Chain A
Amino acid sequence: MIDQQPAVSMENISIEFPGVKALDGVNFRMFPGEVHSLLGENGAGKSTLIKALTGVYRIDSGVITLAGDEVSFHSTAEAQAAGVSTVYQEVNLLTNLTVAENIMLGREPRRFGLIDWRATRARAAELLTKLHLDIDPNSRLGSHSLAVQQLVAIARATGVHARVLILDEPTSSLDADEVQELFRIIRELKDDGVAILFVSHFLDQVYEISDRLTVLRNGKLVGEYLTEEILRIELVQKMIGKELTVLEDLERKTRLQNLDETELTPYVRAIGLGRKGSIEPLDLDVYEGEVVGLAGLLGSGRTELARILSGVDRADVGTLEVEGKAKRIRTPRQSIRDRIIYSSENRREEGILDELTVRDNIALALQADRGWFRPIPKKRQDELAESYIHALNIRPANPDALLKNLSGGNQQKVLLARWLAIAPRLLILDEPTRGIDVGAKAEIQKLVSNLAENGMSVVYISAELEEVLRLSHRIAVMRDRRMVADIENDDLTTDNLLAIIADGATTEAVA
C-alpha cells in the first residue's frame, strides 16, 4: 500500500500565528480507500493542519499535493472544487433550508440559468439513497436531530466527487447507534476509494474505524503508524508525551477517601425538587467535600437537574436547602450568592466570552460578585490570571490571549478558573471534559478531585461512565427525567451502572 500514490501529501508544513508556532515542519499523507486518524492533545495542531488542508489557513512554508499535483487553496470553495470536503464538529449547514438544498447548495443543476428544482431534489435523493439514508429531501433540515444533520452534511460532502473527506469530531454528539450508522457510511465511502480523515477523541472509535494514525504534539509530528501495529497505551503515551499514571492514581485516591458523612448535614439538600416538563420531583443530598456523579443518557434529565439546582431554571415543586436552611433560588444570581455554581455543558454559548482575553474571562465572576462600582485593580487581575494560568496549566500562558484562540481544553480550564476565583461551595460541572483531549481531561479530573478533598462539593455530569465512576463518591442515575438510583460508589462497575441506566434496576444496587 505504501508504494501507492497518496491522495493527499503534506510535506514540511509550518504555520505561525502571532507568538505561537502552530505547526512546525509537519508531514502528513492520506491514501485512497483508507481511513486515517489524526490524534493529539488540544493545541497539538490537529485543527490547524485540517484548516491548512481545506484552505481556511494559508501555510507559511511547505508543500501540499493532491494526487501528485501541487495545490494552494485560498478558500474552502477552492478546496471543495478540488475534491477536499469537510464535515465539521458543529454541523455547519443551514437549518432554515431543506435537506435537498443543504446537500446541493452552490451546485444545483440549472436549466436556462435557473435552478432546476426537480433535478436538484432528484440528485439529493440519489445521494441520500447511495448512503442508504432514509431522509425526506423536502423536509427542513432544522426539523431533524443533530445526528441526521451530520449525515446530511456527509451526503453533501460526498456530492462533490469527494476524493478526500475530512470528518472533524463527527461523533461527539452522536449516540452509539448513530455512531454505527456513521461508520457504515464511512466504510462504504472507503470502499469507493475515498481517502477519509477521521478526528475523534474517542480512542475506541479510532481503533474501530481507522487504518492508519498520525500523532501530533505541540505542533510537531510524533509519527505515523498503522492502527493494527500500535497498542493503545503506546498511542496515549505518544499523544501526551508522558506516562499515563495520573488517572490510575486518581482512581485509587477517590476510592480511599470515601468519607463517612452520614452524620453531617448536607451542604445542599433537594427535597422533592422538580419542574413540570423538565424533571420529576426528586431528592438529592450533596455533602461537603463530596463528588456526586450524575449519570444517564443524553436527554435523561442530567442537565435539567443541574439547571434547577443552580437556579437557571426555576423549580415549581419541592424545596432546596442550603446548610439546613430552605432557600428560594429563582435566578443564578441568587445561587451564586450561596456559592452554588453551574458551569454549562455548552461551553461556547453559555460559558466563555471568546472575544475577551484570558484575564478578563477569569476575572469576570469575581468582578460581577464585587459589583461593577468596585473594579478589580489591574494589578490584582494580573495576579489572579497569572496564578490560575499557573495552577491549571493554561496554555498559552498569556493572560492577554483572546479566548477564541485557545483550544477547547484550555477554554474549559479558563472557565473553571473563573468560578474557582469566587470560591464555590458547590460546583456543578456539566460535561466539563467533552470534546477535550486525554491530557487536559486528566488534569481537569485531578483538579476536581483535589477541590473535593479541600471541602468543595461537586456535582459532576458526564456521558462517560468511566469518568463518573473514577471521580464520584456517590452516583445518582437519571433515566427518562427521573432519578432512578442514588448509590455509593463502592465497587460499582460500568456494567452495574449501565444496567441501572438501561433498566432502572435500583433495588439490588442500593447498598
Chain B
Amino acid sequence: MSATVVTPSSPIATAAGRVRDWLTNPKYGPVIVTAVLLVGMFAVGATRYRGFTNPQVIANLFIDNAYLIVLAVGMTFVILTGGIDLSVGAVLAMSTMIAASLLQAGWAPGVIIPLILLATSFLGLAVGLMIHYFQIQPFIATLAAMFLARGLCYVISKTTISITDPVFTALAQTRIPLAPRLSITPSVILAVLVVIVAVVVLHYSRLGRTVYAIGGSEASGVLMGLPIARTKVLVYVISGFCSGLAGVLYSFYTLSGYALTAIGTELDAIAAVVIGGTLLAGGYGFVLGSVLGVLVLGTIQTLITFDGNLTSWWTRIFIGALLLVFIFLQKVLTARRT
C-alpha cells in the first residue's frame, strides 16, 4: 500500500531524469526502445552490406509484410483489451483458400473479397460473443477458431490452388512508382490505410478509448458506465476482419491458396505487437508501435538475406530472443509502476 505514493515529477526535472521517466513509462518506454532498435539494425545493415541503404530495401519491407501489418493491427486491438487472438494465421489461410477456390469456380473478385471480409468478421463476432458472454478464456476460444479455420482450409482443398484471375494478378504485379527506382504495391497502400484508420479509431473515438479502458480494468470500466460488452466483442470482429483482409493481401502476394500456408503467422503477429510495445496485460500500446514491431521482424529477415551465410531459421531465433527481451522489459516496467 505504502509503495503506491508516487509524486508527479517536478517541472525542473533534469534532462537525464526526463529520459529515464520516458523510458520507464509503460506507455512510451517500449516503443522508444523498439524505434531505437530498428534504427540500430539499419545502421548495422548499412555498414556491413552493400546496397542495404537503397530505399527500395525499405519499400520491400512494406511490400513483403503488408499482410503482417494488417494482422498486427487487428491483434493490437485484441491485446490492448488484455485478450489474445490465436486464430489469425488460420483465418488468413482460410481466406486465401476461399479466394482461390471461388476464383477457380469463376466468381467475380468484386463479390469474393467482400464475402471473405464478411465471413471472417462473422467468425470474429462468434469468438467475441463466446469470450464475453460465456466467459471463455480468449486463448481457448481463439484456439478453437484456429482449428475450425484450419480444418475448413482442408475441406476446401488439400492441394494448392493457383490464382490466375486477371484482377488478382494485376493487383499482385502492379507497381506504384514513388520515385525513380522506388515503387510499392497496392497492398502497401491498403495496409497503410488500415493503420491510419486504426490510429484514428483508437485515439479519436470512444470505441478506441474503451478498448484502452478494458485493458486498464474491465470492472472499473463497467462501473464508469462504458459499453464494455459491446467493445469487447467488437475487438474480435476487428481482428477477424483484419485477418480476412490480410488473407486477401496474402493471396495477392502468393497468387495461390494453400491449406498449410501461414502456419504460425499468428505468433509473428503477436510477436510484432509485443515487440512494438503493447503490454500483453493490456491497457498500454500503440498501433504504430506494432507497425514498428513488424518492421523489426522484417528487418531481421532482410539482414539475414543480405548476409547470405545464415539460414532463414536464424530469423526465428532472433525473433525469439527479442521477444524474450521485450517481455522482460515489460515486466520490469510494470513492476516499477505498480
Contact = CB atoms under 8 A, between A and B. Distances in A.
Interface of A: 75-77, 79-81, 86, 88, 92-97, 101, 105-106, 108, 110, 113-115, 117, 136, 139-140, 142-146, 156, 173, 298-299, 303-304, 345-346
B222 to A, nearest CB: 7
Contacts of A299: 2, 5
A223 B227 CA distance: 38
Interface in B45-69: none
A93 B220 contact: yes
A436 B209 CA distance: 36
Contacts of A115: 203-206, 209
Given A114-B205, A115-B206, A115-B209, A93 B224 contact: yes
Contacts of B213: 94, 97, 105
B205 A105 contact: no
A88 B219 CA distance: 12
Contacts of B216: 94-97
Contacts of B25: 140
B2 A96 contact: no
A115 B212 CA distance: 15
A144 B6 CA distance: 6
A131 B38 CA distance: 46
14 contacts: A76-B223, A76-B224, A86-B223, A94-B217, A96-B215, A96-B284, A142-B337, A143-B6, A146-B4, A298-B1, A303-B1, A304-B2, A345-B1, A346-B1
A75 B2 CA distance: 34
Interface in B172-225: 200, 203-206, 209-210, 212-213, 215-217, 219-225
A298 B217 CA distance: 26
B308 interface: no
Nearest to A56: B223
B222 A76 contact: yes
B225 A96 contact: no
Interface of B: 1-2, 4-8, 25-27, 200, 203-206, 209-210, 212-213, 215-217, 219-227, 283-284, 337-338
Contacts of A95: 216-217
Given A77-B225, A92-B220, A106-B224, A139 B8 contact: yes
A104 B4 CA distance: 24
Contacts of B225: 75-77, 79-81, 106
Contacts of B222: 76
B217 A92 contact: yes
Given A94-B221, A114-B204, A105 B226 contact: yes
Given A114-B200, A142-B337, A303-B1, A105 B223 contact: no
B209 A108 contact: yes
Contacts of B223: 76, 86, 88, 92
A134 B96 CA distance: 56
Nearest to B226: A106
B177 to A, nearest CB: 33
- Ordered nearest first, which 4 A-B pairs have the shortest CB separation? A77-B225, A94-B216, A96-B283, A299-B2
A178 to B, nearest CB: 11
Contacts of A94: 212-213, 216-217, 220-221, 224, 283
Contacts of B226: 77, 105-106
Contact of A105 (B2, B26, B209, B337): B209
Nearest to B279: A96
Nearest to B204: A114
Greatest chain B CB density within 10 A among A92, A93, A95, A105 is at A105
Contacts of A96: 26-27, 212, 215-216, 283-284
A244 B181 CA distance: 90
A139 B209 CA distance: 16
A92 B219 contact: yes
B203 to A, nearest CB: 8
Given A92-B223, A108-B206, A115-B206, A298 B212 contact: no
Nearest to A141: B216
A61 B219 CA distance: 27
Greatest chain A CB density within 10 A among B6, B26, B225, B283 is at B225
Contacts of B209: 97, 101, 105, 108, 115
B326 to A, nearest CB: 18
A402 to B, nearest CB: 16
Contact of B2 (A76, A108, A298): A298
A76 B213 CA distance: 16
A301 to B, nearest CB: 8
A105 B224 contact: yes
B283 A136 contact: no
A299 B7 CA distance: 14
B212 A136 contact: no
B283 to A, nearest CB: 4
